[in-house]
Amino acid sequence: MDRLLTVEQVAELLGTGVRFPRRLIEERRIVFVKVGRHVRIPERAVEAYVAANTVEPVMLRPTGLRKAA
């Protein structure tokens, strides 16, 4: 079974405040589990969120100086 993390633990993993993971939960942008009145986030869901929102760098072509025509 996947490890269930608290909102505070997720915030620490993401390097954010607790408001950010709470907003992800409220907007249903991340998978979460209700354990009674407690909210837990599977570690796998955090990894999936990071993977889905990772932006790869753009490789630009070198542009030399152009000669005036």
- Whether 15 is covered by a domain: the verdict is yes
- Whether 67 is covered by a domain: the verdict is no
Q: Is the pLDDT of residue 68 over 70?
A: no
> 66: burial class by Cβ within 10 Å (0-12, 13-18, 19+)?
exposed
What digits encode the pLDDT tens for the residues 8-51?
999 999 999 999 999 999 999 999 999 999 999 999 999 999 99
- Whether 64 is covered by a domain: the verdict is no
Domain encompassing residue 21: 4-52
**Global model pTM greater than 0.85:** no
Q: According to the model, what pLDDT value does residue 69 have? A: 61
Rg (CA), the chain: 20
* C-beta of residue 39 within 8 angstroms of C-beta of residue 7: yes
- Whether 69 is covered by a domain: the verdict is no
- Whether 61 is covered by a domain: the verdict is no
Task: Quickly state the pLDDT bin for 66 (edges 50, 70, 90).
Answer: low
- Bridge partners of 40, per DSSP, are 33
Place of tokens 């409220």: 26
- Whether 60 is covered by a domain: the verdict is no
- Whether 59 is covered by a domain: the verdict is no
